[in-house]
A and B are shown apart, each in its own frame.
Chain A
Amino acid sequence: MTTPNTPKYKAKDFQADNPANPEKKVAIRWCPGCGDYAILSQVQRVMAELGQPKEEFVVVRGIGCSSRFPYYMNTYGFHTIHGRAPAFATAIRATREDMSVWVITGDGDSLSIGGNHLIHVLRRNVDIQLLLFNNRIYGLTKGQYSPTSEVGKRTKSTPMGSLDRPFNPIQVALGANSTFVARTVDVFVKHQRAMIEASYHHRGASFLEIYQNCNIFNDGAYAPIGGQRIPGVEYEKKKAEVQALQTIELAHGAPLLFGKKDEPKGLRLNGSKWEIFDIGDRFSADDAVVYDETDLGLAQLAATLDYPNFPVPVGVFFRIKAPTYDDAARAQLAEAKEQIGDAGLKELLYAGETWTVEDDG
């Protein structure tokens, strides 16, 4: 909890110390150029600014490249088993009102092996931040296709192309009855920071999908929307233009507008089908759908927007207030405690039907 005595931190304070050598920080072992670096530094920056004592942060993760994340954070950290981080996080949050619990996961960790735990932590609305690094590939096992890879993906395990249809993580989260669903991109630094902050401030399960480039096994997965790839002069020149054309920011109460400054476009709904229109003689900005982040139906429609036919939405798809599992669990304990009053061990054991045998001797 924030108190007037909460220390002022710098992002560096959140870089992991090395117990074996207090002079040094722990060395980071991601591949050079990995999108994870950008996310790590934004999370460290955001945490330093939140005003909550460092010891009250705990980062819980499963297995995968993303899951090395907590080893690099100078907070409490628990590297658990593949796919199960949400289960650990649920108990930590339920038993500890004071802790800010962050789950770091990937598309394999939480949509494949851990799919079950992901949907249940979301539906229970446990007050955690869940950051899903989606690189659409298995990185740590050296490049097999993942549940978010496009159909036909050629990898070592699918030399003739993958056969299975992918998940859309936003649709999964909405379908699991989430109360906070958002998306950002590793290289959209400012936007990413805003989304991490928003996740933290949401009381309930916050689901944040981060499009993240794996420059080794799936480089350029997000290049079509202005995501990171190995920089080339031509690409860098066009990047801002690509972003403007191929992403759209969802903002509560704001119309869905995108495109270059001199060629603005909007999104409108024809029934339940999206249509792109040019702002000009026929249509004005007023014709665009005004986004409402509390409208589940609209969020579900927004989740279907995708490259190449439509701009890819980033921002908060859905956010509502709802009771959290952890608050409710603690409240039940408090209520039960009040009911039994001063009862202790004696009352616990000597309850129900008891009978006494006297000492005859």
Chain B
Amino acid sequence: MAMAVETLDNVVIRFAGDSGDGMQLTGNQFTRTSSLVGNDVSTFPDFPAEIRAPIGTQAGVSAFQVHFSSDDVFTPGDRPNVLVCMNPASLARNVADLQEGGIIIVNTDKFKDRDIQLADLESNPLEDGSLSGFRVIKVPISSLTREAVKEWGLGAKIADRCKNFFALGLTYWLFSRPLGPTEAWIRQKFKNKQPLDDANVRALHAGNGYAENVELFQGRYEVPAATVDPGTYRRVMGNEALALGLTAAGLKAGLSVFYGSYPITPASDILHNLANYKGYGVMTFQAEDEIAAVCAAIGASYAGQIGVTGTSGPGLALKAEAIGLAMICELPLVVVNVQRGGPSTGLPTKTEQADLLQAMYGRNGESPCVIIAPKTPSDCFYIAFEAVRIATKYTVPVILMTDGYLANGAEPWRLPEIESLPDIDVNFHTETEGFMPYSRDPETLARPWIRLGTPGLEHRIGGLEKEHLSGNVSYSPENHDFMCRLRAEKIQRVANDIPDLEVDGSDSGVLVLTWGSTYGAAHVAVAGAIEDGHNVGHAHLRYLNPMPKNTAEVLARYDTIIVPEMNLGQLVKLVREKFLVNAISLSKIEGLPYRVAEMRNAIDRAIAGESISVEFPAHRL
């Protein structure tokens, strides 16, 4: 029987299950297929720090949210329309986010008494009426999968592992997605593990066929392709784009990239990606610790390559002394910080923006660095490219602040025309006549970058204060005062070389000022507020130190400035200090990105003159 197909603009689906249920893989496949059919997409993976928490417990729940649309997408979506739950723990952890009237697809085989107990629930949510506001689709996914793949005699445990593809097949039917791309992926992935290729493909088809034949759903949906700019697209995650950006910058500069890193969540994927680009001249070095990783990167810069190190918050703390060395030695260095929940070990797999002040001030002495931050996963490419350009042109450390949300989030990326990428001009100093290692370019104040081994330019650098021009060790009070001011001025001069701060929307009234990954939610929230007739603008800082030259002028136009951040208010401090404006902090520190609705709510309250600051919730003591 043919079913009605309803067309939707926008859908958010979340796959949730046990850590071992393959939900990240399932979500990635759904995203991939949606990209390939032309939807705009944005994703949000949410997984525990434990590789395998005890099976069936809420601690082990892993989820992956995909927002796909025929319009432009800026966030992974506030609330899912569809929730796929492989067990009671994943239902319990995720159902509160589901939109009213939303669809829940549950694996009923995993709702036995024992499973309810493992999830630490009082009663079975499928029976206790707690899901009455939703459309619950009950499917014995485990047993149907086992039945579907029984001809290969895989054994219950292995057969069970095919169930995520059964679930994926169901959702593909519901949203009219083709099976081909996933089928091809399975064939490739399991080509050396036969018959798992056949079994998984069968599970995918079985799920799809089951939805069709059993009339599980009242109807099916389609989300047409988005109207997007013509060009060639590729789906990228932030860490992947960042690795590509660094590699591309090396090729454009005609220099090798050296990446020193110590494995740390959520930055390790940058190392993994770069390790595959050795053919493009990238040398990767898995160091013995965070300090060795940054020191090696500085050593590579000193040797005449592009030295890069990558880490997350705790690693940035360990690298602080060495970053100060690169700063006083005035060597190019790129430090990537994929921020995660802190302090200390904090929330390793969750996102946060609480390292801004660490990047700004977290070193001994006067030790300013350039700080820049991408706004979307694909922007990680351009920001990495920009980091290399600035570091090599100004002989300074550049701290590139991304976060867990951007690092693991994916979106379609319209690939740039190769010719459109600017060259990065690197001119090593070679002139021996009158050579002074601490002489300067009059415009950028950069000191000469000398490739190690250049004849006649043998000189000494180091962490002791250097005499202006000669670079000799100097304890002169006047010289130290001058050099500290000079290094600070050099950082400020980068502002001559970056784009102005732009505003979307109104140029008076309320300004929402963001940095990093809060861009998406703010963009959508402000667009909505403008549509509703409010006087609101949105400005986004990709350059945090120095800030664009027109920042003061932009901020001065507004009566109210809201600064939403996933911290307790860090950019807002810098802005207030620097510009003496009454900027207000909108803070949230839950390890999760902002929802559009949260942002919009704050805008509405600010317009109404209400306070948006969060008081300490003493009642929770």
Which A residues form the contact surface with B (CB < 8 A)? 16, 18-20, 26, 53-56, 58, 60, 63, 70-71, 73-81, 84, 86-92, 94-96, 98-99, 116-117, 120, 329, 332-333, 335-340, 343-346, 348-360
A345 to B457, CA, bound (A): 33
Chain B residues whose CB sits within 8 angstroms of the CB of A338 once the complex forms: 279
Contact A346 B418 (CB under 8 A): yes
Chain A CB within 8 A of B280 CB: yes
A58 to B452, CA, bound (A): 8
A343 to B279, CA, bound (A): 9
A94 to B307, CA, bound (A): 13
Cβ-defined partner of B455 (8 Å) among A53, A80, A339, A352? A53
Chain B min CB distance to A1 (Å): 11
Chain A min CB distance to B309 (Å): 10
Contact B36 A355 (CB under 8 A): yes
Nearest 10 interchain pairs by C-beta:
A79-B462, A91-B299, A88-B299, A340-B279, A336-B278, A87-B295, A20-B470, A87-B292, A91-B296, A336-B279
> Given the known A-B contacts A120-B288, A333-B283, A355-B36, are A78 and B461 also in contact in the complex, defined by CB atoms under 8 Å?
yes
Contact B461 A77 (CB under 8 A): yes
Contact B288 A81 (CB under 8 A): no
Chain A residues whose CB sits within 8 angstroms of the CB of B289 once the complex forms: 116
Cβ-defined partner of B460 (8 Å) among A54, A71, A329, A339? A71
Chain B residues whose CB sits within 8 angstroms of the CB of A81 once the complex forms: 295, 321-322, 325, 463
A235 to B235, CA, bound (A): 78
Chain A residues whose CB sits within 8 angstroms of the CB of B295 once the complex forms: 80-81, 84, 87-88, 91, 117
Chain A residues whose CB sits within 8 angstroms of the CB of B460 once the complex forms: 16, 70-71, 73, 76-79
Chain A CB within 8 A of B138 CB: no
Q: Which residue of A lies closest to B439 (CB)?
A: A19
Chain A residues whose CB sits within 8 angstroms of the CB of B462 once the complex forms: 70-71, 77-80
A339 to B278, CA, bound (A): 10
Chain A CB within 8 A of B172 CB: no
Contact B232 A350 (CB under 8 A): yes
Cβ-defined partner of A88 (8 Å) among B279, B298, B436? B298
Chain A CB within 8 A of B244 CB: yes
Contact B283 A95 (CB under 8 A): yes
Contact A350 B452 (CB under 8 A): no
Known: A20-B467, A76-B460. 4 other contacts (CB 8 A): A19-B437, A81-B321, A92-B299, A350-B234
Which residues of B (249-297) have their CB < 8 Å from a CB of A?
Answer: 251-252, 256, 258, 260, 277-281, 283, 285, 287-289, 291-293, 295-297
Chain A residues whose CB sits within 8 angstroms of the CB of B305 once the complex forms: 95
A76 to B302, CA, bound (A): 10
* Tier of interface size on chain B: 35 or more
Contact B453 A76 (CB under 8 A): yes
Chain B residues whose CB sits within 8 angstroms of the CB of A95 once the complex forms: 256, 258, 283, 299-300, 303-305
Chain A min CB distance to B439 (Å): 10
Q: Which residue of A lies closest to B288 (CB)?
A: A120
Name B's interface SS. Answer: mixed
Q: Which residue of A lies closest to B457 (CB)?
A: A55
Q: Which residue of B lies closest to A346 (CB)?
A: B418
Chain A min CB distance to B249 (Å): 10
A75 to B452, CA, bound (A): 10
Instruction: Say which one of B74-82, B223-231, B572-580 lies at the interface with A.
Output: B223-231
Contact B278 A337 (CB under 8 A): yes
Which residues of B (458-511) have their CB < 8 Å from a CB of A?
Answer: 458-464, 467, 469-473
Which residues of B (178-230) have their CB < 8 Å from a CB of A?
Answer: 228-230
Contact B229 A329 (CB under 8 A): no
Chain A CB within 8 A of B550 CB: no
Contact A353 B277 (CB under 8 A): no
A353 to B232, CA, bound (A): 10
Q: Which residue of A lies closest to B245 (CB)?
A: A349
A87 to B261, CA, bound (A): 12
Q: Which residue of A lies closest to B473 (CB)?
A: A71
Q: Which residue of A lies closest to B450 (CB)?
A: A76
Chain A residues whose CB sits within 8 angstroms of the CB of B32 once the complex forms: 353
Contact B418 A349 (CB under 8 A): yes
Chain A CB within 8 A of B456 CB: yes
A74 to B281, CA, bound (A): 31
Contact A329 B280 (CB under 8 A): no
A360 to B38, CA, bound (A): 14
> Given the known A-B contacts A336-B279, A355-B35, are A96 and B303 also in contact in the complex, defined by CB atoms under 8 Å?
yes
Q: Which residue of B lies closest to A86 (CB)?
A: B292
A350 to B417, CA, bound (A): 10
Cβ-defined partner of B453 (8 Å) among A99, A333, A335, A350? A99
Chain A residues whose CB sits within 8 angstroms of the CB of B228 once the complex forms: 357
**What are 19 contact pairs spanning A and B, CB under 8 A?**
A18-B470, A53-B455, A55-B457, A77-B459, A79-B462, A79-B464, A80-B462, A81-B463, A84-B291, A92-B299, A116-B292, A117-B291, A120-B287, A120-B292, A345-B248, A348-B280, A355-B35, A355-B234, A356-B233
Chain B min CB distance to A121 (Å): 9
Q: Which residue of A lies closest to B248 (CB)?
A: A345
Chain A CB within 8 A of B415 CB: yes
Chain A residues whose CB sits within 8 angstroms of the CB of B285 once the complex forms: 90-91, 94, 329
Chain A CB within 8 A of B392 CB: no
Chain A CB within 8 A of B454 CB: yes
A79 to B256, CA, bound (A): 24
Chain B residues whose CB sits within 8 angstroms of the CB of A53 once the complex forms: 455
Q: Which residue of B lies closest to A361 (CB)?
A: B230
A349 to B473, CA, bound (A): 45
A345 to B35, CA, bound (A): 23
A75 to B458, CA, bound (A): 5
| B299, B460, B463, most chain A CB atoms within 10 A | B299
Chain A CB within 8 A of B421 CB: yes
Cβ-defined partner of A92 (8 Å) among B247, B280, B452, B458? B452
A350 to B437, CA, bound (A): 41
Chain B residues whose CB sits within 8 angstroms of the CB of A63 once the complex forms: 463
Cβ-defined partner of B302 (8 Å) among A84, A86, A88? A88
Contact A354 B458 (CB under 8 A): no
Cβ-defined partner of A353 (8 Å) among B231, B235, B456, B457? B235
Interface string of B53-66 (1 = CB under 8 A from A): 00000000000000
A86 to B418, CA, bound (A): 39
Q: Which residue of B lies closest to A351 (CB)?
A: B234
Chain A CB within 8 A of B416 CB: yes
Chain A residues whose CB sits within 8 angstroms of the CB of B456 once the complex forms: 55
Chain A CB within 8 A of B134 CB: no
Contact A337 B283 (CB under 8 A): no
Chain B min CB distance to A49 (Å): 18
> Given the known A-B contacts A95-B303, A357-B231, A358-B230, are A87 and B458 also in contact in the complex, defined by CB atoms under 8 Å?
no
A337 to B322, CA, bound (A): 31
A360 to B232, CA, bound (A): 14
A353 to B302, CA, bound (A): 37
Chain B residues whose CB sits within 8 angstroms of the CB of A359 once the complex forms: 230
Contact B260 A91 (CB under 8 A): yes
Chain A residues whose CB sits within 8 angstroms of the CB of B252 once the complex forms: 345
A87 to B288, CA, bound (A): 9
Chain A CB within 8 A of B175 CB: no
